């Protein structure tokens, strides 16, 4: 099986890693390492003979964590941090209108379902708003605030 990184190489985590029950001393679901953290590969193995797993030493977090290849990029690769994460509650700064119909009002509360980075390094999110059950919108980061936070522009 081909591997992308080898022992000692620096890598950056692009997804938050939580305890899946295999990290001792912490509850299942507890956060282990935050996305954006840089570590070094200390071992390479496989899981179920078809997934490459890298043991990565995240010095700042003080943890060695198993990461799948799709959760990592090279430490020197371009990285843009995001304000929000999966399940964060957000508020729309402005109404979302399509063909003259307001689908989501300014100030509507939603939940982040996915973080998306585009080729230009801009961050957007798949967001579900309570006001539109069953609909998911792709929203640029610049048009969202954290729930409970009001932007400098204010909500209208």
DSSP letter for each residue of 51-74: EEEEEEEETTTTEEEEEEGGGEEE
Domain residues for the domain of 62 are: 10-74
Residue pLDDT, tens place only, 123-144:
899 999 988 888 999 999 889 9
Spatial CA neighbour of 106 closest among 115, 119, 97, 118: 97
Q: What is the mean pLDDT of residues 102-121?
A: 86
CATH number of the domain encompassing residue 27: 2.30.30
Q: Are residues 70 and 14 in the same domain?
A: yes
Query: What pLDDT shows up at residue 15?
Result: 83
Q: Are residues 70 and 95 in the same domain?
A: no
pLDDT band for 152, please (50, 70, 90 cuts).
Answer: very low
Q: Is 21 helix (H, G, I), strand (E, B) or coil?
A: coil
Q: Are residues 59 and 100 in the same domain?
A: no
Which of 50, 74, 98 is the last residue before a domain boundary?
74
Q: Are residues 14 and 66 in the same domain?
A: yes
Q: Are residues 37 and 63 in the same domain?
A: yes
Q: What is the mean pLDDT of residues 49-72?
A: 89
Is the pLDDT at 151 greater than 60, yes or no?
Answer: no
Residue pLDDT, tens place only, 29-43:
888 998 889 999 999
Q: Is residue 151 part of a domain?
A: no
Query: What pLDDT shows up at residue 82?
Result: 85
Q: Are residues 55 and 102 in the same domain?
A: no
Strands of 123-129's sheet in order across: 137-140, 123-129, 109-117, 89-92, 144-146
Q: Is residue 83 part of a domain?
A: no
Q: Is residue 37 part of a domain?
A: yes
Which of 74, 102, 122 is the last residue before a domain boundary?
74
Number of compact structural domains in the chain: 2
């Amino acid at each position: 099986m081909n591997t992308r990184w080898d022992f000692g190489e620096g890598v950056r985590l692009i997804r938050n890693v939580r305890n899946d029950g295999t990290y001792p001393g912490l509850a299942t679901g507890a956060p282990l390492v935050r996305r954006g953290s840089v570590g070094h590969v200390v071992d390479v193995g496989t899981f179920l003979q078809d997934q490459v797993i890298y043991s990565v030493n995240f010095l700042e977090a003080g943890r060695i964590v198993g990461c799948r290849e799709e959760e990592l990029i090279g430490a020197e690769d371009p990285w843009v941090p995001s304000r929000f994460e999966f399940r964060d509650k957000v508020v729309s700064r402005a109404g979302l209108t399509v063909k003259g119909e307001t689908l989501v009002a300014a100030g509507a509360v939603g939940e982040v379902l996915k973080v998306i980075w585009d080729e230009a390094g801009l961050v957007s999110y798949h967001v579900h708003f309570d006001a539109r059950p069953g609909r998911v919108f792709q929203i640029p980061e610049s048009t969202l605030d954290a729930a409970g936070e009001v932007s400098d522009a204010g909500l209208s």
